[in-house]
Structure 1
Amino acid sequence: MKKIVFSLAVMGAFVSCMQAQKAKEKVVVKQVQQKKVTSIDSATVRKHLYTLASDEMQGRKPGTEGMEKATQYIENEYKRIGLKPFKGLEGYRQNFTHKGIEMSNIIGVLEGKSKKDEYVIVSAHHDHLGMKKDGEGDRIFNGANDDASGVVGVLALAEYFANKGENERSIVFVCFTAEEMGLVGSKYFGKDIDPTKFVAGINLEMIGKTPSFGPNTAWLTGFERSSFGKIVQQNLKGTGYQLFPDPYKKFNLFFRSDNASLARLGVPSHTFSTTPIDVDKDYHKVSDEAETLDIGVLTETVKAVARGTESIINGKDTPTRVEIKE
């Protein structure tokens, strides 16, 4: 009898210990989940950047093996994060043909709660110039700042908002193709949507270098065309990060990135940037390598975009519409 009692006591202690261990593990898991929710970390930013701007991607020109590798990488990240396909699509690719080249926009959706039929688009272009046909030395246009940096932002923001789980509006994450060929991908996307359901466009272009305004700053194209920029400025008060209107008006940048395709439809769609297209010494050169970017600048800019646009994504603020008169 004593042996039975002793055995039961040992079993009870073992079960108790196991329960305590499981409870401890649950706390650790919860802490990890909370960390994911509240952080856009530089390690993840670095991983995305160095992958997308690697020589293996061969400059990400539409129709090439390198572009297919980049597309698969983005698709795998969408799947890992848990994004859903866009309406009417079986997967993340919106396939079409342009000038005999088969290409794809890569689209993933994070469905909203109370306003799931209202959309905020977060975008960047994942294509670049490919490779030089001949010559010595480096022949790959890696396109790190233009625009692997923007795609990094799209992926980081997708994971951030998915983990946070507080978006009242649906978020459409898009990596547009063939921007370098004349905004081809974003124009195609715009043909098949109801623009009245898109309340804002957050486009990211060349966000990996310190801007002329100094550290912890970015600028927005078409600032005066809607209330979008002022909403972001208000949300960034007290954060130590500042957003300015585009200071490079002579470059007509509002119409030179994918935001323009949606803005022409009335969507308050603007581009965040830290580097002006025609001033960056590495712009459209083989020297646009991941090593030339500042991971800290890139990470802090993505964090600022998240904080600055969160009230729009959560349904609190709605920017005024854009009117284009050319």
Structure 2
Amino acid sequence: MKNKSILLFLFLGLFAQAQQKLMIDNQEVVRIETELASDKMEGRAIFSPGIDLASAFIEDEFKKIDLSYFKDLKNFRQEFDVKGKAANNVIGILPGKSKADEYVIFSAHYDHLEMEKEGVDKIYNGANDDASGTTAVIALAKYFKELNQNERTIIFVAFTGEEVGGFGAKFFSEKMDPNKVIAMFNIEMIGTESKWGKNSAYITGFEKTDFGTILQKNLKGTDFNFYQDPYPKEQLFYRSDNARLAAQGVPAHTISTSKMDVEANYHKLSDEVSTLDLDNMTEIIKAIAISSQSIISGEDTPSRVKK
């Protein structure tokens, strides 16, 4: 009887793990990434018809997942002006159970570059930069909604205007109380393998908090590894949408795999879905989900960035 009980326990454990793995599905990652980086989005430049299409797509995904609206918004759009022109972030939330006033943010920017005026290929599809990160945010929203175990409130946000000065992140950050933000997982360019190969990524500003150490602890027993940013001269910690909240002390970091010294398609017309490793990208999204669990549950609270 004892042996049967042990076997049943092991079976249930493996079944539970399998169920969790199914929540982040490769086919869904491919579907979302392919849509965001499609030619009809025309590069997703801020103020363009293409970015309006991208925003509508993300809003529809958040609606299907059944996320809640952010603060006093009436929909998923956080609207603001940039030099007299209309722009918007897309935000959805999962309210926390026991620690609703403590926030964990998953973010990426969904804007990219303007089209060229002539040429056979005129569209900067931005498949890696940053449709890959936006795809991750949507996939993680679905995962955590289905898991339904978040003690802290989770905010999922797709920023606009990163490529032209970080306007979306600036507006969003000004609306947040940094003392209530426990951590920010900003996801930027995860569609290609890192310098260490598959099942790996790096965290900008790794040494500034114990955020990365917590993530790696939660990945113990897996094949995945997070590393320190190998491109310190690039100052990547200050060049993405995490920087605004990090400046206010929030352990806000960017997760990336981009080989900044040799990334062949960075800000080029060739940044298309066909250049990405979508199987590896799916594994990275799974690793982010697993590694964030103790922060979302309230078990771990990363140390703050020194101002």
Indicate the TM-score class for this superposition, using the shorter chain for normalisation: over 0.9
CA shift, 1:306, in A, is 0.5
CA shift, 1:100, in A, is 2.5
Q: Is 1:127 aligned to 2:111, yes or no? A: yes
Separation in 1, partners of 2:299, 2:39: 43
Separation in 2, partners of 1:300, 1:127: 24
One-letter amino acid of the counterpart of residue 187, structure 2: L
Give unmatched runs, 5+ long, in structure 1: 1-30
What is residue 108 of structure 1 aligned with on the other side? 92
2:214 to 231, 239, 254: 231
Q: Deviations over 1:197-242 (max 9, x none)?
A: 0000000000011111121110000000111000001111111100
2:139 to 156, 173, 187: 156
CA shift, 1:130, in A, is 2.4
Worse overlay, 203-212 or 34-43: 34-43
TM-score normalised to structure 2 length: 0.92
2:199 to 205, 211, 216: 216
What is residue 179 of structure 1 aligned with on the other side? 162
8 Å contact kept, 2:186–2:255: yes
What is residue 5 of structure 1 aligned with on the other side? none
What is residue 79 of structure 1 aligned with on the other side? 63
Query: What is the SS of the residue equivalent to 1:315?
Result: coil
Aligned residues with identical type, % of pairs: 51
Number of aligned residue pairs: 291
TM-score normalised to structure 1 length: 0.87
Separation in 1, partners of 2:119, 2:41: 19
RMSD after superposition = 1.3
1:258 to 231, 241, 247: 241
One-letter amino acid of the counterpart of residue 110, structure 1: L
Q: Deviations over 1:40-99 (max 9, x none)?
A: 111000000000000000000111111111000000000100101100211111101102
Separation in 2, partners of 1:182, 1:159: 29
Query: What is the SS of the residue equivalent to 1:112?
Result: coil
CA shift, 1:101, in A, is 2.1
Give unmatched runs, 5+ long, in structure 2: 1-14
8 Å contact kept, 1:38–1:164: no
What is residue 24 of structure 2 aligned with on the other side? 40
CA shift, 1:279, in A, is 3.1
CA shift, 1:36, in A, is 6.8
What is residue 292 of structure 2 aligned with on the other side? 309
One-letter amino acid of the counterpart of residue 107, structure 1: I
Separation in 2, partners of 1:266, 1:154: 23
What is residue 247 of structure 1 aligned with on the other side? 230
What is residue 50 of structure 2 aligned with on the other side? 66
Separation in 2, partners of 1:319, 1:116: 17
Query: What is the SS of the residue equivalent to 1:61?
Result: coil
Distance 1:130 1:278, change over 3 A: farther
Q: Deviations over 1:236-268 (max 9, x none)?
A: 111110000001001000001101111011110
Separation in 1, partners of 2:161, 2:194: 26
What is residue 6 of structure 2 aligned with on the other side? none
8 Å contact kept, 2:231–2:260: no
Q: Deviations over 1:121-165 (max 9, x none)?
A: 000000000201x22210000000000000000000000000000
8 Å contact kept, 2:204–2:228: yes
2:250 to 267, 270, 274: 267
Distance 1:188 1:278, change over 3 A: farther
Q: Is 1:320 aligned to 2:303, yes or no? A: yes
CA shift, 1:278, in A, is 5.0
8 Å contact kept, 1:60–1:70: yes
CA shift, 1:38, in A, is 4.7
Separation in 2, partners of 1:214, 1:184: 33
What is residue 3 of structure 1 aligned with on the other side? none
CA shift, 1:37, in A, is 7.5
8 Å contact kept, 1:37–1:161: no
Separation in 1, partners of 2:263, 2:235: 16
What is residue 182 of structure 2 aligned with on the other side? 199
Query: What is the SS of the residue equivalent to 1:91?
Result: coil
8 Å contact kept, 1:251–1:278: no
Separation in 1, partners of 2:248, 2:260: 24
